[in-house]
């Protein structure tokens, strides 16, 4: 049985420490008020049984709470007082330096929370440890004087979650849509080096990969780029190759007409496209940013972003190469092709690619094949998105965060070059449990919690106000997000809709279950769920009018925080069936992962909530291996096109390097009651010798997860 120390290190449970602590407190009171040795033993054993009954590793603080409770139950109030006083004094000592122990356990790779905080960061790497160390300092500063006390306390107690506190000390933002078009067409500067307009597609991809790395190191969220911004350079490659082929034929004395020249040149164009796409693929997965991970990058594949004609055909060639190379995968250290996490791909379904008679149906077939094998691309329905976004179709930032619709001073829609300032998430399950099922009290508590979120988001916004462009020239001076002057502040980009700031939410499913006794998929409970969502939108509208900032409701992709929220709920409210009886809570508006529901029914139900999550939302269906059943994948994709804006198909892509097994790596319970990954073929449980890829929160995770998220993955039911 394991417990979690304050430093985050996971160690074995030791009953003797409880006995020793109670004995120490016992000696401080008069003999007539002391506990007997047998009573102390019973107290310790009761606490041990409570720990064993827990579905997760309990923290030292939780165990000490249980010790206090057991002492009180034994009637030894004086002993309890001494024990509580001792805890308080120790807490004051620890508060004098809150970071040292955390940092040491990170360096020694003993911090279980840090090791499983992000499923795409390897905690053993020096660069990741350096980032985590800096994060501990940032959180300490945020806790002590950057954030309002009530906001930090609510964050610590799992009432809200102030995202990315480990980066809050710096004047940096969340995610963005890189204006790659401006940077490539008009030139940029990278590390004080002027980069001119590329003269070919492959060179444009090389430059783009460097831009991606620089942007990732200047912010803490995901970024998205358009394949169309790259495909514009196919024409430059074509022109260059035609000129070269013509010269080569002339030098060789070979007579060739324009058709022959064009044919040879076009073959070289295709090779240049493959070369460029391979550069993007391999650079992205091998680059290491300053925060110890590969860039969280999304590539947007939208045919109609290019004008009809040659430009659209060129984009189609680029998309075809992207999909083919992703189907192949990348080699691991053993030389085996596996599923890479990045770049994430988003393929837009539209009239010209959605049916067998469509012009680009072959690309949709290829996308289905890619999804069945490598879990990407994800799918945006142009048809539905136009209805929700004022006729526009554009990509999200990172995994699901969407910008609000914005017009520039010329009344032109603008999306690239814009960004998100940050996120604060409200724990809807805690709101429900705190109300004790009283609906009037629920709405009152919701208002109070929203006010906390507002304070937190304004702290995030005000931290960015006054930031000078010099802090990240690639972003603010050289085109990624703006072309401001040196010394100029970014303030104008934070107001009037140019950027967004997000009110996240989590646990709608459990919230509704607590308040109504039914899942939110039940027709009698759905109206309440929709009303909760509307209240969130109303709050954002009120704040926007007051502050001239684009607040937007965001379906939070909880990763490690799903476990944190669950632990806090269990500590505050105990285990409530269907509400707090898991080590995770449900992301955003999603149907609970254990609920039996068909793929089409799930997507159709969740579509109504995407409309109420304008700041970002994604739905998924869990499917079996569809590599030999592409018609099923295509049927889901066509349903997405007709019914929901943004969705994905979750498959599995695993490999055991010990025995070569390439089926599904399963989740089992080890001797300590902890969930572990195991190869069903050879029994291997060494995570360093297997490759497991699972959709976590929109992105594909490849570095494993905490116990809460692992339980959630284990309990997912198939929807198809």
In the numeric block, which tokens belong to residue 68? 């206090």
Strands (E), 428-547: 500-506
Choosing from 51, 58, 133, 175, which is the catalytic residue?
175
In the residue annotation, 156 being an active-site residue is answered as no
Instruction: Please identify which of the residues 9, 10, 559, 648 carries the catalytic annotation.
Output: 559
Query: Of residues 202, 353, 401, 552, which has the active-site annotation?
Result: 401
Active site residue 698: yes
CA atoms within a 13 Å half-sphere pointing along the CA-CB vector of 496: 7
| Catalytic residue flag (residue 72) | no
CA distance 95 to 97: 5
Active site residue 606: no
* 673 neighbors 666 (Cβ within 8 angstroms): no
**Bridge partners (DSSP) listed for residue 580:** none
Among residues 54, 119, 138, 174, the one annotated as catalytic is 174
401 catalytic? Reply is: yes
Provide the 8-state DSSP code for 109: T
Please state, as a whole number, how many other Cβ atoms lie within 10 Å of the Cβ of residue 386.
Answer: 14
672 backbone dihedrals φ, ψ, rounded to 5°: -95, 5
Measured CA to CA, the distance from residue 534 to residue 614 in angstroms comes to 11
Q: Which of 176, 205, 370, 399 is catalytic?
A: 399
Ordered alpha helix ranges (H), 189-254: 201-216, 227-231, 234-252
Q: How far, in Å, CA of 492 to CA of 39, rounded? A: 66
Reference 618, options 398, 429, 456; nearest CA is 398
Q: Is the peptide bond before 20 cis (omega within 30 degrees of 0)?
A: no
Catalytic residue among 394, 514, 554, 699: 554
Helix (H, G, I), strand (E, B) or coil at 2: strand
**Catalytic residue check, 385:** no
Backbone angles phi, psi at 420, to 5 degrees: -115, 135
As a whole number of angstroms, the distance between CA 645 and CA 220 comes to: 26
Distance (Å) of CA 88 to CA 3, 64, 139: 21, 12, 22
Residue of 226, 291, 420, 519 with catalytic role: 420
State the DSSP code for 411. S
Whether the Cβ atoms of residue 644 and residue 653 lie closer than 8 Å to each other: no
Q: Cα separation of 519 and 515, whole Å?
A: 10
Strand order in 550-555's β-sheet?
Answer: 160-162, 420-427, 500-506, 550-555
Peptide bond preceding 284 in cis form (omega within 30 of 0): no
Give the C-alpha separation, 5 to 110, whole Å.
10
- Tell me which residue of 306, 155, 161 sits closest to 232, measured CA to CA: 306
User: What is the C-alpha to C-alpha distance for residues 212 and 25, in angstroms, rounded to an integer?
Assistant: 58
**Phi, psi for 190 (deg, rounded to 5):** -125, 120
Q: Which SS3 state, helix, strand or coil, does residue 540 take?
A: helix
**656: annotated active-site residue:** no
Residue 253, Cβ density class (10 Å: 0-12 exposed, 13-18 middle, ≥19 buried): exposed
Catalytic residue among 8, 135, 698, 701: 698
Q: Pick the catalytic residue: 317, 370, 397, 424?
A: 397
Active site residue 502: no
Beta strands in 156-236 (DSSP E): 160-162, 176-177, 188-190, 193-195, 223-226
Neighbouring C-alpha atoms within 13 Å toward the C-beta of 297: 32
Cα four-point dihedral sign 339, 340, 341, 345: negative
Question: Cβ neighbours of residue 147 under 8 Å, at least 6 residues apart?
Answer: 155, 162, 165, 168, 456, 459
Long-range CB contact pairs, 352-356, < 8 A, 24+? 352/303, 352/304, 353/303, 354/637, 354/638, 354/641, 355/638
Q: 554 an active-site residue?
A: yes
Neighbouring CB atoms inside 10 A of 171's CB total 15
> How much of the chain is in helix, strand and coil states, percent to nearest 5?
50, 15, 35
Catalytic residues: 174-175, 397, 399, 401, 420, 554, 559, 698
């Amino acid at each position: 049985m394991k417990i979690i120390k304050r430093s985050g290190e996971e160690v074995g449970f030791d009953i003797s420490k409880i006995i020793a602590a109670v004995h120490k407190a016992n000696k401080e009171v008069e003999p007539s008020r002391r506990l007997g040795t047998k009573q102390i033993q019973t107290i310790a054993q009761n606490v041990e049984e409570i720990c064993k009954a827990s579905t997760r590793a309990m923290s030292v603080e939780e165990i000490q709470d249980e010790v206090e409770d057991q002492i009180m139950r034994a009637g030894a109030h004086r002993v309890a007082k001494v024990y509580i006083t001792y805890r308080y004094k120790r807490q004051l000592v620890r508060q004098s330096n809150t970071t040292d122990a955390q940092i040491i356990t990170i360096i020694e790779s003993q911090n279980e929370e840090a090791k499983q905080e992000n499923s795409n960061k390897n905690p053993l790497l020096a660069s990741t440890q350096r980032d985590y160390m800096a994060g501990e300092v940032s959180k300490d500063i945020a806790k002590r004087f950057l954030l309002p006390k009530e906001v930090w306390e609510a964050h610590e107690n799992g009432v809200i979650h102030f995202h990315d506190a480990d980066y809050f000390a710096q004047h940096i933002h969340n995610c963005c849509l890189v204006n790659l078009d401006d940077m490539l067409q008009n030139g940029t500067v990278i590390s004080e080096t002027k980069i001119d307009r590329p003269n070919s597609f492959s060179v444009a991809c090389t430059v783009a990969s460097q831009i991606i790395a620089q942007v990732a190191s200047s912010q803490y969220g995901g970024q998205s780029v358009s394949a169309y911004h790259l495909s514009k350079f196919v024409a430059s490659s074509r022109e260059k190759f035609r000129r070269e082929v013509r010269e080569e034929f002339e030098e060789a004395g070979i007579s060739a007409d324009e058709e022959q020249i064009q044919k040879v040149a076009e073959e070289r164009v295709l090779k240049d496209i493959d070369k460029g796409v391979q550069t993007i693929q391999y650079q992205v997965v091998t680059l290491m940013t300053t925060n110890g991970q590969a860039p969280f990058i999304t590539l947007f594949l939208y045919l109609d972003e290019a004008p009809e004609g040659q430009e659209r055909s060129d984009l189609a060639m680029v998309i075809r190469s992207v999909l083919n190379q992703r189907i192949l995968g990348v080699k691991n250290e053993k030389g085996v092709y596996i599923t890479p996490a990045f770049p994430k791909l988003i393929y837009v379904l539209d009239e010209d690619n959605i049916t067998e008679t469509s012009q680009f149906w072959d690309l949709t077939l290829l996308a289905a094949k890619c999804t069945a094998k490598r879990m990407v691309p994800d799918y945006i329905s142009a048809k539905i998105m136009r209805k929700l976004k004022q006729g526009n179709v554009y990509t999200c930032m990172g995994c699901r965060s969407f910008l609000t619709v914005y017009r520039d001073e010329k009344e032109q829609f603008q999306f690239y070059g814009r960004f998100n300032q940050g996120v604060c998430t409200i724990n809807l399950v805690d709101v429900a449990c705190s109300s004790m099922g009283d609906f009037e009290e629920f709405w009152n508590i919701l208002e109070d919690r929203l006010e906390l979120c507002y304070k937190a988001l304004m702290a995030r916004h005000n931290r960015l106000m006054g930031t000078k462009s010099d802090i990240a020239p690639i972003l603010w001076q050289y085109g990624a997000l703006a072309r401001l002057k040196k010394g100029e502040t970014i303030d104008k980009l934070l107001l009037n809709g140019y950027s967004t700031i997000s009110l996240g939410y989590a646990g709608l499913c459990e919230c509704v279950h607590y308040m109504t006794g039914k899942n939110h998929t039940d027709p009698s409970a759905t109206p309440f769920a929709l009303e909760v969502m509307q209240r969130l939108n109303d709050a954002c509208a009120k704040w926007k009018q007051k502050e001239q900032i684009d607040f937007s409701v965001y379906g939070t992709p909880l990763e490690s925080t799903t476990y944190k929220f669950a632990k806090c709920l269990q500590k505050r409210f105990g285990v409530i069936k269907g509400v707090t009886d898991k080590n995770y809570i449900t992301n955003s508006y999603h149907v609970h992962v254990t609920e039996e529901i068909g793929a089409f029914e799930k997507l159709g139900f969740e579509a109504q909530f995407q409309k109420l999550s304008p700041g970002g939302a994604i739905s998924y269906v869990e499917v079996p291996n569809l590599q030999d059943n592409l018609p099923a994948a295509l049927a889901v994709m066509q349903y997405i096109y007709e019914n929901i804006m943004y969705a994905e198909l979750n498959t599995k892509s695993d490999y055991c390097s010990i025995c070569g097994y390439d089926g599904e790596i399963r989740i089992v319970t080890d001797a300590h009651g902890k969930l572990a990954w195991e190869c069903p073929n050879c029994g291997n449980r060494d995570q360093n010798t297997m490759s497991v890829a699972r959709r976590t929160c929109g992105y594909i995770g490849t570095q494993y997860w905490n116990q809460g998220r692992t339980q959630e993955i284990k309990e997912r039911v198939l929807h198809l």
